[in-house]
Structure 1
């Protein structure tokens, strides 16, 4: 009894301490002032004020990663000149971890923290500043007080010189675009900020306000984008039954050559090529990217694997379900654009065939499972090396194709009554809205089985957790289609290397597993000088007229030494798939096709 009483007393003491600490923390007021006195040198100056403090110590923390991009990026490396003052006196800030500073603040009720951040990495997930604009990816800009993630914060932005616009999904304070409010740090870290002279245009979709900010110019047609975005948004809302936002923001960076996107709770950041809008193919790719990132509004930002929120910004968040979060989104990005009738069914089928070809031509398909590719994103997907193609796969690509097979499975098993759409809506409603949490792997499997009407254990064991080849034609036959390999009967020889593009010298950047180069010992970083005494061309076929079994002599330079390497050419195992209709489709197949492709 005494031991039990002691444990109870200890528990109550800890609970009291936690309660008083939390209440003290939540009583604090936090504000930031952002300025750009040296934007041309890629710096932002941050002043952070915290008032209403009642504790004896305070931790200042910087996230080590950003939600949606699964890599520890060590944002604290870009902080310099950190200084803390209270009542006009400097306080010591002791670094206790790579991203944490500790302050002793006994008797101090408010502190002012000033620091600079160097921002010169162009991507959708990292901050970039120059004299033209500032893109602030919040996790690598804002320090936050430990144990105060739920605290609100106000951000006041002082623009550089003639910058006149701020674009962000963060709410304006009293209508002032230069002053923004975040109810907590999870929202702040999920709300990028663009400052500059970007072109901004707006449109409304059934009562939800949309804003598009274009930086870097471009050949885009804003009226066409508004019309096409509206169609895409409505198709996505139709799946989930609601748009959970009152407003949503697209931030688009237009470069000479750009791409990529990153989703956020009420916004997204897209990279694009400024002149690519002029061609229909490239414009459709832009719409597909926008469709992908906007679909994340539901899938991953709200309907999510259970580990992906609330976030631990100090450590990785491992999940085996990125094939759902990203792969299903990659599937739906093109499904949605097709449903808008912005391009014909043949285009959609060609996109699916291209994804199948991309996956099947990756040697890592025989090495890494889909669930493992999700889990290892932190150490592999965002840290590729010269051998990555041989050892792994993309959970985007294979996840999208698994989504395709499951969609056809559900439609076929339910005789056209249900589809993957129904699973997505059910899981969104059940876990985000009702249970108010993420799902486990087992729970999503149950959701799929609910609409398939059968167990999917073998499917999971074979295609998600195993290395069994995906049986595309089994599932495509449900809709009266098949895929064929147009290269199946070819007898082409292949060396099996990749090279640096647009470089006169032939520098090997990759060697495919099982190829002639792999078997006979060509290495990454080798410079190939000639083949059979003929200097290698800057581009084009390296072995014209050669057949499998032919022997060639490759002269190369490795580590400064010249080497003659005999190579026996092997048959190319490249595949290129295309869709074909099965002859005389049955009524059942046409029912599945109509449900899948939304065609008459």
Structure 2
């Protein structure tokens, strides 16, 4: 019923009875200074005359095609006698090898690995991070066969992975290619800590110097691990590895079946706001161990590594994970209620200032994710599966809590998805609606059509009031002028122009270069201050270059709240509102004397 645990079994059990069918990989990292390695893949008993090996065209966790095969050079294929076999490139990530008679086939190639931010492959003098999707070729017909991986590394390096150890230093074993491709390897000079929670073993491996505290990270990760039972009844792993890169600028994270890779600039760990980015990311990837890795939408089961895997539920895979990440940290007392509601307020404010929310549903955004590119067009005509999926999850949670009279929440939906649709099964929209119906006693078809299949249109005043909360921009209702345009960095080149705004209506577009306002030179970095010299309703003359031609336009400034968005307590919340808040957030109603700032738990 649950996701398989084969990846955690000892090598002997993994390979028992299959000693002659084991695919083996080796990678020579002994001279890593120039980001190069030598890879060999040995396939026993090949009897296919046209034997194909592939590198995936995407990696799990990033739903976009990537040029992963571009790092391969000096490709060769040999038979059991070491003789070269002819081959040809038949697709961007595919090599077809001609095999005249049954034989073992050994493929070798040089690998270039200098793609840290993509979290696929990076090799330098201090470490190597290896995601198999960009490192090890596979044969699609034999992806279910067991395999081993052996690394040759410089002296002093240590190697880590979610895979089982291979019986020797710097070696690993996996039940199949799907386990390998979802179990990255971190090898090199790093710091490591181990801890256990509820019978499960955890490792924290950090590469790179920075202003982090291993003690703080371990304590918070331990607290996080205790909260999984709030949503799921079981844990789908015996061992989990947090791999952290303290980098010179690269950032991001990717989930895997029993590990994650998290990247942050090396000096973005100490300040509270920076540390929250790390620990919320860690929570997000930890939740993915269930949501996506243990159960996932039907369009992603099984993974097809050579093409797009379409699903209209990516918002649920990613946005719902984002939704739960702060909840677990709040319950674990790693995040304060104030920080929890600040995160919610920021997400609501971003939504309200994204014109694309009026045009694209979360279901359509999920299907569009494979070609989504961001930028000005995305802001005005699209939504993000993470942020919009978060709010769709919030709406679904509040609806289910209300319909079930607080007996069930969105957590119960994911508990049942794991119980009833764990891999190798999968689920679709109709399965989610059936669970919602069973929990609420109502038909959720109309709700789904209105909020998931159509652009999300939420009344946040009504929604938040159920939990005794409201959206505020400060104690006094003040407004400042709004033009609806943003510049790129410290330049005067427009990065985006908000659809329907004053700048949009005046004809300005992304890429225009601002020069002056009311015939006075505009200095880079001062646009917001300059606009602050005016009032909502004022008309201003903007001079700018458009396609190298000098243009002038007059626009009438609109208004926007002059304050930071906050989610605060309503005056005199009722008993029912306090009960709703606790059923939702998992903590007692606890606000300060002013009623607008939550107290620490």
**What TM-score do you get using the length of structure 1 for normalisation?**
0.90
Whether 2:108 is the aligned partner of 1:114: answer yes
SS in 1 for 2:242: strand
User: Is the 8 Å Cα contact of residues 239 and 425 (structure 1) preserved in structure 2?
Assistant: yes
Going from structure 1 to structure 2, the CA distance change for 1:468 and 1:273 (only over 3 Å counts) comes to closer
Report the Cα distance in structure 1 between the residues aligned to 2:364 and 2:20, rounded to whole angstroms.
43
The residue aligned with 2:444 is: 456
2:462 corresponds, among 474, 479, 484, to 474
Shift of residue 516, structure 1, vs aligned partner: 2.5
After superposition, the C-alpha distances for 1:45-99 in whole angstroms (9 at most, x for unaligned) are: 1011122223333111111011111001131122111011222321111112222
Whether 2:65 is the aligned partner of 1:72: answer yes
Going from structure 1 to structure 2, the CA distance change for 1:180 and 1:26 (only over 3 Å counts) comes to closer
Going from structure 1 to structure 2, the CA distance change for 1:156 and 1:522 (only over 3 Å counts) comes to same
Whether 2:422 is the aligned partner of 1:432: answer yes
User: Is the 8 Å Cα contact of residues 491 and 571 (structure 1) preserved in structure 2?
Assistant: no
The residue aligned with 2:3 is: none
Report the Cα distance in structure 2 between the residues aligned to 1:163 and 1:546, rounded to whole angstroms.
63
The residue aligned with 1:528 is: 514
Going from structure 1 to structure 2, the CA distance change for 1:335 and 1:487 (only over 3 Å counts) comes to same
The residue aligned with 1:510 is: 496
Report the Cα distance in structure 2 between the residues aligned to 1:181 and 1:112, rounded to whole angstroms.
18
Report the Cα distance in structure 2 between the residues aligned to 1:370 and 1:238, rounded to whole angstroms.
26
Whether 2:573 is the aligned partner of 1:569: answer no
Write the mapping of 1:86-485 to structure 2, written as runs, cut at 5 A. Answer: 86=79, 87-159=81-153, 161-174=154-167, 176-380=168-372, 383-432=373-422, 436-485=424-473
SS in 2 for 1:580: strand
Report the Cα distance in structure 2 between the residues aligned to 1:243 and 1:253, rounded to whole angstroms.
26
After superposition, the C-alpha distances for 1:504-555 in whole angstroms (9 at most, x for unaligned) are: x422222211122222222322222222232222323232322344333333
User: Is the 8 Å Cα contact of residues 327 and 396 (structure 1) preserved in structure 2?
Assistant: yes
What 5-or-longer segments of structure 1 have no aligned partner? 1-24
Report the Cα distance in structure 2 between the residues aligned to 1:399 and 1:252, rounded to whole angstroms.
26
SS in 2 for 1:444: helix
User: Is the 8 Å Cα contact of residues 255 and 286 (structure 2) preserved in structure 1?
Assistant: yes
User: Is the 8 Å Cα contact of residues 70 and 378 (structure 1) preserved in structure 2?
Assistant: yes
User: Is the 8 Å Cα contact of residues 29 and 52 (structure 1) preserved in structure 2?
Assistant: no
Shift of residue 248, structure 1, vs aligned partner: 0.7
User: Is the 8 Å Cα contact of residues 407 and 419 (structure 1) preserved in structure 2?
Assistant: yes
Report the Cα distance in structure 2 between the residues aligned to 1:445 and 1:101, rounded to whole angstroms.
43
Going from structure 1 to structure 2, the CA distance change for 1:437 and 1:26 (only over 3 Å counts) comes to farther
SS in 1 for 2:386: helix
Report the Cα distance in structure 2 between the residues aligned to 1:73 and 1:319, rounded to whole angstroms.
19
User: Is the 8 Å Cα contact of residues 124 and 270 (structure 1) preserved in structure 2?
Assistant: no
Shift of residue 487, structure 1, vs aligned partner: 10
Shift of residue 437, structure 1, vs aligned partner: 0.4
1:547 corresponds, among 529, 535, 540, to 535
User: Is the 8 Å Cα contact of residues 549 and 570 (structure 1) preserved in structure 2?
Assistant: yes
Report the Cα distance in structure 2 between the residues aligned to 1:90 and 1:257, rounded to whole angstroms.
43
1:538 corresponds, among 524, 532, 540, to 524
What 5-or-longer segments of structure 2 have no aligned partner? 1-17, 589-601
The residue aligned with 2:599 is: none
SS in 2 for 1:479: coil
Report the Cα distance in structure 2 between the residues aligned to 1:284 and 1:58, rounded to whole angstroms.
49
Shift of residue 386, structure 1, vs aligned partner: 3.2
Shift of residue 38, structure 1, vs aligned partner: 4.8
Shift of residue 486, structure 1, vs aligned partner: 4.8
After superposition, the C-alpha distances for 1:448-500 in whole angstroms (9 at most, x for unaligned) are: 22222312223212211112511223232222222245599544332322222
Report the Cα distance in structure 2 between the residues aligned to 1:371 and 1:454, rounded to whole angstroms.
22
User: Is the 8 Å Cα contact of residues 481 and 580 (structure 1) preserved in structure 2?
Assistant: yes
Report the Cα distance in structure 1 between the residues aligned to 2:267 and 2:24, rounded to whole angstroms.
40
After superposition, the C-alpha distances for 1:199-247 in whole angstroms (9 at most, x for unaligned) are: 1111111221111110111222212221211111110134211211111
Shift of residue 297, structure 1, vs aligned partner: 0.5
User: Is the 8 Å Cα contact of residues 480 and 532 (structure 2) preserved in structure 1?
Assistant: no
Whether 2:37 is the aligned partner of 1:51: answer no
Shift of residue 350, structure 1, vs aligned partner: 1.6
User: Is the 8 Å Cα contact of residues 415 and 588 (structure 1) preserved in structure 2?
Assistant: no
Write the mapping of 1:6-17 to structure 2, written as runs, cut at 5 A. Answer: none
Report the Cα distance in structure 2 between the residues aligned to 1:39 and 1:574, rounded to whole angstroms.
53
Report the Cα distance in structure 2 between the residues aligned to 1:462 and 1:490, rounded to whole angstroms.
33
Shift of residue 393, structure 1, vs aligned partner: 0.8
User: Is the 8 Å Cα contact of residues 124 and 271 (structure 1) preserved in structure 2?
Assistant: no
Whether 2:87 is the aligned partner of 1:83: answer no
User: Is the 8 Å Cα contact of residues 163 and 173 (structure 2) preserved in structure 1?
Assistant: yes
Shift of residue 163, structure 1, vs aligned partner: 4.8
User: Structure with the greater relative contact order (CA < 8 A, sep ≥ 6): 1 or 2?
Assistant: 2
Report the more deviating stretch, 444-453 or 485-494: 485-494
SS in 2 for 1:271: strand
Report the more deviating stretch, 442-451 or 483-492: 483-492
Report the Cα distance in structure 1 between the residues aligned to 2:47 and 2:553, rounded to whole angstroms.
75
User: Is the 8 Å Cα contact of residues 41 and 107 (structure 2) preserved in structure 1?
Assistant: yes
User: Is the 8 Å Cα contact of residues 307 and 317 (structure 1) preserved in structure 2?
Assistant: yes
The residue aligned with 2:581 is: 593
The residue aligned with 2:5 is: none
User: Is the 8 Å Cα contact of residues 361 and 574 (structure 1) preserved in structure 2?
Assistant: no
Report the Cα distance in structure 2 between the residues aligned to 1:72 and 1:26, rounded to whole angstroms.
35
Equivalent residues, number: 567
SS in 2 for 1:353: helix
